[in-house]
Structure 1
Amino acid sequence: MDARIRDMTADDCHAVATVRVRGWQFAYAGLMPQPYLDALDIEAQAARRREVFEGGRGKVVNVVAERDGEVIGWGCCGPYREDDGSPTADGELYALYLLPEHLSTGVGRALAAELTARAATAGFPVLRLWVLKENARARRFYEKAGFAADGAEEPFEVDGVLVPEVRYSRPLSATDAAAPNFG
């Protein structure tokens, strides 16, 4: 794998927005309403990402994957949030996206390993994530990374269409904190 994983900076906001929008448009085609996906706006996402990023990240970890100076992937994790927004002792993998042309190159695995290591180092006993129930590709990816569906499901609505999510969990250990850095 010839990508470098590093901490995200404010200068990465536009590139991360591009990764997120193109990642959603590819990963969720056929799973979410196409007009919604087509309307995703990189500039609006970049402005929102910049506002959130510069407003203080708190305990949220944002990392990017970079190849030949180009940001090709992004992921973030932090405290798991209950429905009311209150944090728990567990961690949550909030997002992990790649530009579609970089799928199946090892970059996603490197991002997942880095975020898992960071969550373990932060002391989270479990790392959780939500994935669209019908997103078979993502579910296989997370299962190969040691996550398993834990039985929790949640409705998620996009433009009036229900796209249910399932929760995956992975116990963390000191071994996870010592995962290799792919940077």
Structure 2
Amino acid sequence: MDSHRPRDTAPVPAAGIRVRDMTDADCEAVARIRVLGWQTAYAGLMPAAHLDAMDVEEETARRRELLARRGPSVVNLVAGRAGEVVGWACHGPLRDDDAPPGDAELYAIYVLPGVLSTGVGRALLEVVLERCVASGHGRVRLWVVEGNARARRFYERAGFSPDGAEDTYEVDGVPVPEVRYLRPLEMP
């Protein structure tokens, strides 16, 4: 199969969700999902001025640039419901030097605030995990903002657990602590 042609998975029957590879035509929807996702998930955890300043148009241009230059090892997926893109996930090789080689990393997963807790995130994560197994990865890691209780519960319910690594980055001069999570994958 051509690696640049979108692949579909079967819809999740109960929720009517279809997960497929992201295309350039999805960039604006993904930008909107990312901006609204950050503004919802990180309210009170990051400076409000930073979140308020996020711009869908700028993010669309960024998504287009990243999608155009991505290598075959970075996978962007979108989740659709009733013809609307409502979620996005991105994964690829682990970027951390301290972990064993061959691990995958979930770089991002966001859904529109109106579809939180409806199975969209779970459907995206299931496809991410399937793709990681198919690529030969034995584990998936991810970073989550320490205070993001909703995301941490989501990942823990999906079999992830903290692996002991912690880091802090700054957003407009405010420290934002993160913890790294790990999930072993079952190989076929």
| TM-score normalised by structure 1 residue count | 0.91
Name stretches of at least 5 consecutive residues in structure 2 with no aligned partner. Answer: 1-14
- Give the SS at the match of 1:89: coil
Structure 1 Cα separation of the partners of residues 123 and 159 of structure 2: 14
Partner residue in 2 for 1:36: 50
Deviation per residue, 1:116-174 (Å, 9 max, x gap): 11111111111000000011110000000000001100011100000100000001112
Q: Cα RMSD (Å) of the superposition?
A: 1.6
Q: Tell me the equivalent position of 2:186.
A: 173
Q: Aligned partners of 1:113 and 1:67: how far apart in 2?
A: 16
Deviation at 1:55, TM superposition (A): 1.8
Matches within 5 A, 1:50-65: 50-65=64-79
Task: Assess if the C-alpha contact under 8 Å between 2:161 and 2:182 holds in 1.
Answer: yes
Shift of 1:82: 2.2
Match of 1:145 in 2: 158
Aligned-pair identity in percent equals 60
1:83 CA drift (Å): 5.3
Does the C-alpha gap of structure 1 residues 70 and 167 become closer, same or farther in structure 2, counting only changes over 3 Å? same
- Per the alignment, residue 181 of structure 1 pairs with none
Alignment map for 1:24-173 (pairs within 5 Å): 24-82=38-96, 88-173=101-186
Which AA in structure 1 matches 2:133? A
SS in 2 for 1:47: helix
Contact 1:81-1:88 within 8 A present in 2 as well: no
2: CA distance, partners of 1:161 / 1:88: 32
> Per-residue deviation at 1:3?
1.5
Aligned residue identity for 1:166: V
Kindly report structure 1 stretches of 4+ aligned residues shifted beyond 2 Å: none
- Which amino acid is the alignment partner of residue 134 of structure 1? G
Aligned residues: 174
Aligned position for 2:11? none
Q: Distance in 1 between matches of 2:70 and 2:20?
A: 18
Contact 1:79 1:90 in 2 (8 A): yes
Greater RCO structure (CA 8 Å; 6+ sep)? 1
Q: Is the 8 A contact 1:82 1:88 kept in 2?
A: no
TM-score by length of 2: 0.89
